[in-house]
Amino acid sequence: MSTSFAEALSVGLLVLVLVCAVVRPWGWPEAVVAVPAAGLVVATGAIPWAHAVAEAERLGPVIGFLAAVLVLAQLCDDEGLFHACGAWMARTSAGSPRRLLAQVFAVASVITAVLSLDATVVLLTPVVFATAARLGARPKPHLYACTHLSNTASLLLPVSNLTNLLAFAASGLSFTRFAALMALPWLAAIAVEYAVLRRFFAADLDAGARAEGEVAAPEMPVFALVTVAGTLAGFVLTSAIGVDPAWAAFAGALVLAVRALAQRRTAPAAIVRSAAVPFLAFVLALGVVVRAVVDNGLASALGHLVPHGTSLAALLGVAALAAVLANVINNLPATLVLLPLAVPSGSGAVLAVLLGVNIGPNLTYAGSLATLLWRRIVREHDTEIGLGEFTRLGLLVVPAALTLAVVALWGSLHVIGG
């Protein structure tokens, strides 16, 4: 196959895969198009078989980790964790939409960091919607907080996002050093989000709500909380001794799964469904298609654009490029493309890519799959989010949050070291 044809085929299939992931024609899972596309680039020779296998081997542990975290999050929901969070927010907001927004920020930031952005989008968003309706508050500020924080608040831990797992594997950092370097950027980005959303939705937040004095104090699922805490400790321990942290995630999910099965609150089939196997297949297939695009010219083209080094200017340039690319081809492909180009400059450049692909998607609907999924969930609750409003808010948030987060990362690198 000629180089030009291989390049055209790879790019065309990537565009087709991304468009179908966004539109999901006839409700098809993303994998329905992605898996045949991956097979086609291998069958036609657009990517050598050895490269496809190498990509699958690179993504395999990441996908296993993601599956375990998704199961863990769903089992926590079955234990009543998200319901308890909603009851606590309703009880303590005292009829104040501004207080409710602060609580949503706190809860969504922690859930995103610990249980991944999928938990915030799929499990917390409906709870937040129901809580706002229960209080008679306008839901839009709180719903926007869920989608923005599912991206922005996923900066803290390697487990918070699939992009984080990829960056963590490429960075060579330990679990604790990764978290230490990303703590200040995480706080800076969330602070910008909170300040801008309070200002942007001032009219909605001033509209008032009604106090919910009759809401009983939530019964926190202690077993689930202890299991999650133990899983986080397992992440730190496994990273320190050189064991894949996916085993800690698997152990946490197994503990909750055994309990739920013993109490007959779930079934094996439900646990398998919660692992989102079609989405895992989509991630693997997308990785192969992106590798084909990279092999056929994209890597050399972007290589001239990626700044080298870890100076503040270089980190800002890398993060900005990552944010732009995330909004053009989605943040997951952007991560797969940019990480190999950032690795030679060290862990600081890898983390700068992560800032761009996690904060940048708040600019457009297509920036991340989580945002697309959130939009579908919001529509199911008969609430429409306009493209113009989403983009205006993104233009206010993304440049400021990204700049401050990069400055915070640069400072952390100088204090802690990469």
Return the HEC string of the chain: CCHHHHHHHHHHHHHHHHHHHHHCHHHCCCHHHHHHHHHHHHHCCCCCHHHHHHHHHHHHHHHHHHHHHHHHHHHHHHCCHHHHHHHHHHHHCCCCHHHHHHHHHHHHHHHHHHHCHHHHHHHHHHHHHHHHHHHCCCCHHHHHHHHHHHHHHHHCCHHHCHHHHHHHHHHCCCHHHHHHHHHHHHHHHHHHHHHHHHHHCHHHHHCCCCCCCCCCCCCCCHHHHHHHHHHHHHHHHHHHCCCCCHHHHHHHHHHHHHHHHHCCCCCHHHHHHHCCHHHHHHHHHHHHHHHHHHHHHHHHHHHCCCCCCCCHHHHHHHHHHHHHHHHHHCHHHHHHHHHHHHHHHCHHHHHHHHHHHHHHHHHCHHHCHHHHHHHHHHHHCCCCCCHHHHHHHHHHHHHHHHHHHHHHHHHHHHHHCC
Convert the pLDDT of each residue in 364-407 to its tens digit.
Answer: 877 887 887 787 778 777 677 777 899 999 999 999 999 999 99
Name which residue leads in pLDDT, 222 or 192.
192
Average model confidence (pLDDT) across the chain: 87
Percent of the chain's residues with pLDDT above 70: 96
Q: What residues have CB less than 8 Å from 213, skipping those under 6 apart?
A: none
Q: Distance between CA atoms of 294 and 286, rounded to whole angstroms? A: 12
Indicate whether 319 pLDDT > 60: yes
At 105 the pLDDT is 96
Residue 117 to residues 19, 69, 125, 162, 184, Cα–Cα distance (Å):
22, 10, 11, 9, 19
Residue 387 to residues 237, 392, 399, Cα–Cα distance (Å):
44, 9, 18
Indicate whether 85 pLDDT > 90: no
At 245 the pLDDT is 79
At 187 the pLDDT is 97
Read off the pLDDT band of 215 (50, 70, 90): low
Average pLDDT over residues 323-349: 89
At 382 the pLDDT is 67
Read off the pLDDT band of 212 (50, 70, 90): low
What's this model's pTM, rounded to 2 decimal places?
0.84
Indicate whether 218 pLDDT > 80: no
Lowest-confidence region among 158-162, 173-177, 286-290, 295-299: 295-299
Average pLDDT over residues 321-336: 88
Q: Distance between CA atoms of 235 and 247, rounded to whole angstroms? A: 8
Indicate whether 207 pLDDT > 70: yes
At 38 the pLDDT is 93
Convert the pLDDT of each residue in 287-312 to its tens digit.
Answer: 899 888 888 877 677 777 888 888 99
At 418 the pLDDT is 65
Indicate whether 318 pLDDT > 90: yes
Name which residue leads in pLDDT, 234 or 23.
234
At 115 the pLDDT is 85
At 1 the pLDDT is 59
Average pLDDT over residues 40-55: 91
At 154 the pLDDT is 94
Convert the pLDDT of each residue in 345-369 to its tens digit.
Answer: 999 999 999 999 999 999 987 788 7
Read off the pLDDT band of 121 (50, 70, 90): confident
At 108 the pLDDT is 94
At 260 the pLDDT is 92
Average pLDDT over residues 124-129: 89
Convert the pLDDT of each residue in 269-280 to its tens digit.
Answer: 999 998 888 888
At 209 the pLDDT is 64
